[in-house]
Amino acid sequence: MGSNRTYRTYGTYAAYFIALLLCVLQGLACLKSPAAEKRPQIGFLMTLDDPYWQNMRLGAEDEGKKLGADVTILNAKEDPVTQIQQIQEMIARQADAVCLVPMKKEPLVSGVQALNAAGVPVILVNRTVADGCEYECFCGTDTYQGAVTSAKILVEAVGGEGGIVEFHQHLGTGPELARSKALRDVVKDYPGIKILARVPHEGDRGKAIKEMQTLLDKHPEVKGAYVHGDPQAIAVADACHDAGRADIAVVGMGGSEEAIAAIKAGRLTGTSYQQPEQEGRTAVQLAIKKLNGEPLEKSYLIPCPAITKQNASQFKGQF
Amino acid sequence: MRTETFLTWRNLVDNLLTNAACVGLIAAGMTFVMVAGGFDLSVASITAVCGVVAVLAVTAAAPAGAGVAIAVAVVATVAAGVALGAANGVLVAYVGVNPFVVTLSTMLVFRGIALVLTRGGQSIEVPPAVRDTFREFYWGRISLAGTPWRLTVPILIFAAAFVLAVILLKYTRFGHYVYAVGGNETASWLAGVNTARVKTVTYVLCGASCAIAALVYTGMSNTAQAASYQGLEMIVIASVIVGGTPLGGGRGGLFYTLIGLLLLSVIENLLTQFGITEEYRNIVRGLIILIVVAVDVTVRKKTTKTRA
């Protein structure tokens, strides 16, 4: 095993590397900590895989700057396991408060329990967790109410009867459940409406287009599409237009700039208006309030009004 | 940011080492495969299937009591890991397909199996009766006798697995064969080593290590999702390579992997400590792997020259 010698060389290098890093780190820590010590440390644990979240992030970061707090954004990419690891990082770093967009309802209970045990206050943002853990308050878009708004726009647009298709996002996430339920709750009152298909778009426009093309072949009688999320709704609407089926009503959820433009242009039928930037800001404000010892309510809901061609000019998209 | 929290028990042990231990379990298995000259891209998918199997098994056995249910889950999960690893091994060693191609395909197949088992990717939960016991796989703490410090269960599981793996790779005939097959497969075969069996066993060990990691990860959230652990294979392979086991195999070992793993974990932890935002993290990760391996190659060239 003559090669062992060179490997020892390597091992030493790696060890040096670690040692060097630690030195640099400690040095930086000494330089940085006196100034940074007093600022509240807020962890904002979310996902960033859609412009929606990017905007929430901007709101949170900006509000942090305004209020003199350090806001650390961590992206769990819709994976609860990653998010629990990030929660541990926040506990390890002794964050003063955590704003959490739980990736999934059930799995995150363990994560929030860990925050409870460490005494870190939790502000839930946009989505909720299952029972079994404590949190200060929930703040966020009323996802269910927004989805009901979108569903009502769609039902009205198709005249209360006919076949519709549903495009849903990652299964089992809070909004997916709320939006799927909202559609069924609205459709319940319209026996003429039939949900022909329910397909996943997984946050991917390309997939939404492909699926819609397939559905147009399979169900030519389709009159409307209910799409979880604006970017995919626009994709679906484009697929319909390309196929010469501009008669199909398509509703999204969100109220992005792009969606509002598409509504004005008559490509998209309507959407419900969410305000992610406001959600991010409110979450950070609530965290600071909590740290200042002010009492909080249990829930801060941000409503989503309907946007259709009639009123689209009054809205400016937040993402 | 408060970087001084780096050197705390809570950060180094409860956070850094605990999460490194989860990756380390798989990296230990991967070391066997890579020392033998193989490669396994499917570890994240195997872990996902094993996590799902763990929850399904514990749910099925829950009426028999927590102890029995956990035992059933452990046996079923390890069996699943062994079976998937064996499938990789047989395809590589006996059918003779390139390990990259085999595990690229099985990565998809196994992920698909996890999706089928969870009916399209719904998250499935450990039943309430067993939950408090099952979560100990990840959240459990064991006090060090006579000190205020406590180690986490994942660290202890990893330590035990690591010691066993070191014994197996360094002090058994099988271990020597693993190095021999990675060093020169034809020569080993001519010398009478059953190279196909040795290779298959390395994949089985890797599958089994994924199963153990899956139990720990499942304890973390008490749920399993088919879509979890995406990208985990890259961290595992990076740990092995940064440690110094080359892609061709024949050299390296578990302690090298341990160094590589700790190095990457420290860096990952520092990225958070310093508040490096998400968009820069992958760049830093990739550059560090490149730098470390480039330094290694350069150093090795120099030493070879001076010796010659």
The CA distance from B75 to the nearest CA of chain A, in Å, is 23
Q: Which CATH class is domain A37-141+276-302?
A: alpha beta
pLDDT for A78 equals 84
Distance of CA B205 to the CA centre of its chain: 10
- Fold match between domain A37-141+276-302 and domain A144-275+308-314: yes
Pairing of strands B223-224, A70-75: unpaired
- Angstrom distance (rounded) from CA A260 to CA B117: 40
Q: How far apart are CA B27 and CA B29, in angstroms?
A: 5
> Quick one: pLDDT at residue A10?
59
Q: What is the pLDDT of residues A221-279, one digit of tens each?
A: 999 999 998 889 999 998 998 888 888 999 998 888 888 888 888 889 999 888 888 89
**Per-residue confidence (pLDDT) for residue A3, from 0 to 100:** 46
pLDDT attached to residue B308: 42
pLDDT at A38 > cutoff 80: no
Q: Are strands A41-46 and A70-75 parallel, antiparallel or unpaired?
A: parallel
A81, B229: Cβ pair inside 8 Å?
yes
Res A12: pLDDT? 55
Other CB atoms within a 10 A radius of the CB of residue A28 amount to: 15
Which whole number is the average pLDDT over A138-150?
A: 88
CA B257 to chain centre: 11
What are B15-66's pLDDT values in tens digits?
888 889 999 999 999 999 999 999 999 999 999 999 999 999 999 998 888 8
In chain A, which residue's Cα lies nearest the Cα of B135?
Answer: A110
Rg for chain B (alpha carbons), in Å? 20
Residue type, B87: A
A169 with A123: CB under 8 angstroms? no
Q: Is A10 within 8 Å of B296 when comparing Cβ atoms?
A: yes
* Cβ-nearest to A21 among B139, B266, B304: B266
CATH homologous superfamily of A144-275+308-314 equals Response regulator (3.40.50.2300)
The separation between CA A30 and the C-alpha centre of its own chain, rounded to angstroms, equals 37
**Mean pLDDT in residue range B193-219:** 95
User: Each residue of B125-151: pLDDT tens digit?
Assistant: 898 888 888 888 888 888 877 777 788
Round to whole Å and give the CA distance between A209 and A222: 15
d(CA A85, CA B217): 10
Helix segments in A37-77, DSSP class H: 51-67
**Pairing between β-strand A249-251 and β-strand A222-227 as defined by DSSP bridges:** parallel
- B contact test, residue of A13, A39, A81, A176 with most B CBs within 10 A: A81
Q: Which residues, other chains included, contact B137 with Cβ-Cβ below 8 Å and sequence gap of 6+?
A: B153, B154, B157, B215, B216, B218, B219, B220
B123 vs A13: CB contact, 8 Å cut-off? no
Q: Which of A131-135, A168-172, A174-178 has the highest mean pLDDT?
A: A131-135
- Percent of chain A at pLDDT > 70 equals 89
Residues in chain A: 319
B223·A106 Cβ contact <8 A: yes
Beta carbons of B78 and B208 less than 8 angstroms apart = yes
The closest alpha carbon to B261, from B103, B29, B38, belongs to: B29
Q: Which residue of A has its CA nearest to B136?
A: A110
Residue B262 lies in a domain: yes
Domain hosting B257: range is 3-275
Total domain count for chain B?
A: 1
Name the token pair of A78: 């819709």
Q: Which residues of chain B neighbour A104 with C-beta distances below 8 Å?
A: 123, 223, 225
Q: Which of A281-295, B132-146, B266-280 has the highest mean pLDDT?
A: A281-295
Chain B contacts in chain A segment 193-212 (CB below 8 A): none
**Average of pLDDT values for A35-61?**
85
- Which amino acid, residue A155? V
Å between B254 CA and nearest CA of chain A: 12
Distance CA(A130)–CA(B87), nearest Å, equals: 38
Q: Which residues of A, range 280-309, sit inside 8 Å of B by Cβ?
A: none
> Mean pLDDT over all residues of chain B?
88
Distance, CA of A87 to CA of B132 (rounded, Å)? 20
Domain boundaries, chain A: 37-141+276-302, 144-275+308-314
Report chain A residues whose CB lies below 8 A from the CB of B303.
5-6, 9
Q: Which of A4, A5, A6 to probe the B interface (max B CBs under 10 A)?
A: A6
**Phi, psi at residue A165, to the nearest 5°?**
-120, 155
Across the interface, whether the CB atoms of A10 and B16 are under 8 A apart is answered no
For A125, phi and psi rounded to 5 degrees?
A: -125, 130
Arithmetic mean of pLDDT, A98-124: 91
CATH code of the domain covering residue B175: 1.10.3470
